[in-house]
Amino acid sequence: MVKPIVQIMNSMNALVQAKPKDMPMTHTQNTTNLDQDADVIQLWHKLPVELRLTILELRLLFPSPMTYRKHVALVELRLLPLLGTGNLELAAMAKAVCYHGNVFQITAGDIEYKRQPSLRIGSLIRHLEFRFQSAPDRESESLEYLWQPASGTSRSWQTNIPKLKTLRVVLDARGYWRSIFDGSRVWKDARITGEMLVEWERILMENVLSLTPEDITFEIEADGCPMARPENVYHDESSCTCKEDLETKIKGWMVKK
């Protein structure tokens, strides 16, 4: 069994390293590529389904979220060569592994520049991540911009990802240096205020997801306690549970009761 696996891996390496589509091939080169494709398919059917999946996962799954640019590169370099073999079973398995197994990330920039997945791609996606800032420098980085209703706006990611199984939302509540018009920089305090929480509750409760609490992960990134307080108010951060308490509260606003 080991020999066919090694041969398949070598043949797949040849596929993904083939000439780019914009470079012309001679008849001999084209015939060689067709022979390689046939070798892959012939060996492919000798393997148990579990090993086929393992091989595809090694090629198509990534530990970090799939950004717009990474997805474009993955399709061009690793997925399309497998779809181009003409074998429907291999193509279906490769697409399922790629889109059901990876976590896809949607950023404010993706929505602003209309780079969120189309319905054709989005209907295959099962796992999603997006981030927002507590004190955004731009409106497009706010929760209200990212968390659009499933209908009524072209900016909504929910419209094009109807079969979502898990969602990871990351709130960045870390302060940062902001450049202003005269070239100087000022420190932006991004700690969470009561006014922010009231606004987020309104936004999230207006468009609750049909996911269970187990399907949603909500995380806050902060330097120390994420809550803003007057300077004259003492707060013992050694026993602080504000981050965990806020994560539980905000996550509850996202889920159907």
pLDDT, mean of residues 23-40: 48
Handedness of CA 116, 122, 125, 128 (dihedral sign): positive
Name the helix (H) or strand (E) containing 127. Answer: strand 127-133
Nearest one of 9, 85, 84 to 52, comparing CA atoms: 9
Residue 159, CA distances (Å) to 2, 21, 205 in order: 45, 33, 18
| pLDDT value, residue 147 | 78
Q: What is the 3-state secondary structure (H, E, C) of 214-251?
A: HHEEEEEECCCCCECCCCCCCCCHHHCCHHHHHHHHHH
The answer to whether 211 and 255 have CB atoms below 8 angstroms apart is yes
Q: pTM (2 decimals)?
A: 0.78
The answer to whether 252 and 208 have CB atoms below 8 angstroms apart is no
Distance CA 20, CA 182 (A): 47
pLDDT surpassing 60 at residue 241: yes
pLDDT, mean of residues 56-85: 91
Per-residue model confidence as pLDDT tens digits over 141-167: 778 777 765 555 555 677 788 899 999
| Contacts of residue 136, Cβ cutoff 8 Å, sequence gap at least 6 | 108, 142
Distance CA 1, CA 217 (A): 40
Residue percentage of the chain with pLDDT more than 70 = 80
The answer to whether 41 and 85 have CB atoms below 8 angstroms apart is yes
Per-residue model confidence as pLDDT tens digits over 104-126: 998 777 877 778 788 889 999 99
